[in-house]
Structure 1
Amino acid sequence: MKIMPRNLAVFITVGAFLIAITCAEDPYRFFEWNVTYGDIYPLGVRQQGILINGKFPGPDIYSVTNDNLIINVFNSLDEPFLISWNGIQQRRNSFEDGVLGTTCPIPPGKNFTYILQVKDQIGSFYYFPSLAFHKAAGGFGGIRILSRPRIPVPFDEPADDFTVLIGDWYKSNHTALKAILDRGHKLRNPDGILINGRGPNVTSFTVQKGKTYRLRISNVGLQNSLNFRIQNHRMKLVEVEGTHTVQQMYSSLDIHCGQSYSVLITADQSDRDYYIVVSSRFTNPILATTGVLHYSNSASKVSGPIPGGPTIQVDWSLNQARSISKLAYSANLKVSLIYNLVRTNLTASGPRPNPQGSYHYGMINTTRTIIIQSSAAQVNKKQRYGLNSVSFKPTDTPLKLADYFNIGGVFRVGSISDKPTGGGLYLDTAVMGADYRTFVEIVFQNPEDIVMSYHLDGYQFFVVGMDGGVWSKGSRNVYNLRDGVARSTIQVYPKSWSAIYVPLDNVGMWNLRTEFWARQYLGQQFYLRVYTNSGSIRDEFPIPKNARLCGKASGQHTRPL
Structure 2
Amino acid sequence: MAGRVMLSVLVCCLAAFVMVQAEDPYLFFTWNVTYGTLSPLGVPQQVILINNQFPGPNINSTSNNNLIVNVFNNLDEPLLFSWNGIQQRKNSWMEGMPGTNCPIPPGKNYTYHFQPKDQIGSYFYFPSTAMHKAAGGFGGLRTNSRLLIPVPYADPEDDYTVLIGDWYTKSHSALRKNLDAGKALGRPAGILMNGKTGKTGGKDDEPLFTMKQGKTYKFRICNIGIKTSLNFRFQGHSMKLVEMDGSHVVQNSYDSLDVHLGQCFAVLVTADQAPKDYYMVASTRFTKYMLSATGVVRYVPTDGSKVAPASPELPPAPTGVAWSLNQFRSFRWNLTASAARPNPQGSYHYGQINITRTIKIVNSASTVNGKLRYAINGISHINQETPLKLAEYFGVAEKVFKYNTMKDDPSPSSLENIVTEPNVNNATFREFIEIILENPEKSIQSWHLDGYSFFPVAIEGGKWTPEKRKNYNLLDAVSRHSIHVYPGSWAAIMLTMDNAGMWNLRANSWDRYYLGQQMYFSVLSPNYSLRDEYNIPDNAELCGIVKGMPMPKPYTP
The TM-score, its normalising length taken from structure 1, stands at: 0.91
Q: Is the 8 A contact 2:373 2:516 kept in 1?
A: yes
Alignment-derived partner of residue 233 in structure 1: 237
What secondary structure sits across from 1:360 in the alignment?
Answer: helix
Q: What do residues 314-365 of structure 1 show as CA deviations (whole Å, max 9, x unaligned)?
A: 222123224x2xxxxxxxxxxxxxxxxx210011011114454452111111
Q: How far apart in 2 are the matches of 1:269 and 1:461?
A: 38
Corresponding position of 1:411: 401
Is 1:483 the counterpart of 2:472? The answer is: no
2:295 aligned with 1:305, yes or no?
no
Specify the alignment match of 1:32 in structure 2. Answer: 30
1:538 to 513, 531, 534: 531
| Conservation of the 8 A alpha-carbon contact between 2:429 and 2:526 | no
Q: What's the counterpart of residue 316 of structure 1? A: 323
Give CA deviations for 1:425-476 in whole Å, capped at 9, x if unaligned.
1101000110111110011001011111000000000111111111011010
Query: Structure 1 stretch 22-31 or stretch 113-122: which is displaced more?
Result: 22-31
Amino acid corresponding to residue 343 of structure 1 in structure 2: R
The residue that corresponds to 1:374 in the other structure is 363
**SS of equivalent to 1:361:** helix
SS at match of 1:177: helix
Q: Deviations over 1:295-326 (max 9, x none)?
A: 11263112423221112x2222123224x2xx
* Cα distance between partner residues in 1 of 2:384 and 2:76: 21
Quote the Cα distance in structure 2 between the aligned partners of 1:203 and 1:521.
36
Q: Is the 8 A contact 1:547 1:558 kept in 2?
A: no
Q: Secondary structure at the match of 1:402?
A: helix
Alignment of 1:129-278 (within 5 A): 129-201=127-199, 204-278=208-282
Unaligned stretches of 5+ in structure 2? 1-18, 200-205
- CA 1:273–1:37: 2 relative to 1, 3 Å: same
Q: Who is 2:546 aligned against?
A: 553
Give distance in 1, aligned partners of 2:340 and 2:92: 20
Change in Cα spacing, 1:22 to 1:385, as seen in structure 2 (3 Å) is farther
Q: Does 1:442 align with 2:438?
A: no
Partners of 1:460 and 1:81 lie apart in 2 by 26
How far apart, in 2, do the equivalents of 1:389 and 1:259 lie? 26
Shift of residue 40, structure 1, vs aligned partner = 1.2
Structure 1 Cα separation of the partners of residues 316 and 307 of structure 2: 24
What is the Cα deviation at residue 22 of structure 1?
12
What residue is the counterpart of 1:333 in the other structure?
none
Aligned to 1:350: 339
Could you tell me how far apart the structure 1 residues matched to 2:343 and 2:485 are?
25
Out of 518, 524, 533, the position equivalent to 1:525 is 518
Residue in 2 aligned with 1:505?
A: 498
Task: Indicate conservation of the 8 Å contact 2:403/2:426, yes or no.
Answer: yes
| Residues 13-66 of structure 1 deviation map (CA, whole Å, 9 limit, x = unaligned) | xxxxxxxx9997111111110100001110011111000011000001111111
Change (3 A) 1:203 1:295: closer
Q: Distance in 1 between matches of 2:307 and 2:404?
A: 64
State the aligned residue count. 522
| Paired residue type of 1:246 | V
In terms of mean alpha carbon deviation, does 23-32 or 521-530 score higher? 23-32
CA distance in 2, matches of 1:161, 1:22: 31
1:412 maps to a residue whose letter is K
C-alpha distance in structure 2 between counterparts of 1:184 and 1:382, whole Å: 4
Q: Unaligned 5+ residue runs, structure 1?
A: 1-20, 325-341
Q: Read off the aligned partner of 1:319 and give its amino acid letter.
A: N
Give the letter for the 2:246 counterpart: G
Judge conservation of contact 1:402–1:553 (CA < 8 Å) in 2.
Answer: yes
Contact 2:38–2:45 under 8 Å retained in 1: yes
Moved over 3 A (4+): 21-24, 353-358, 557-561
Counterpart for residue 364 of structure 1 = 353
The root-mean-square deviation of aligned C-alpha atoms, in Å, is: 1.5
Cα distance in 2 for residues equivalent to 1:203 and 1:80: 36
1:203, distance to aligned residue in structure 2 (A): 5.6
Output the TM-score relative to the length of structure 2: 0.92
| TM superposition shift of 1:421 | 3.1
Match of 1:37, SS state, is strand
Residues 343 and 479 in structure 2, CA contact (< 8 A), matched pair in contact too? no
Q: 2:379 — aligned with what?
A: 390
Deviation, structure 1 residue 282: 1.2
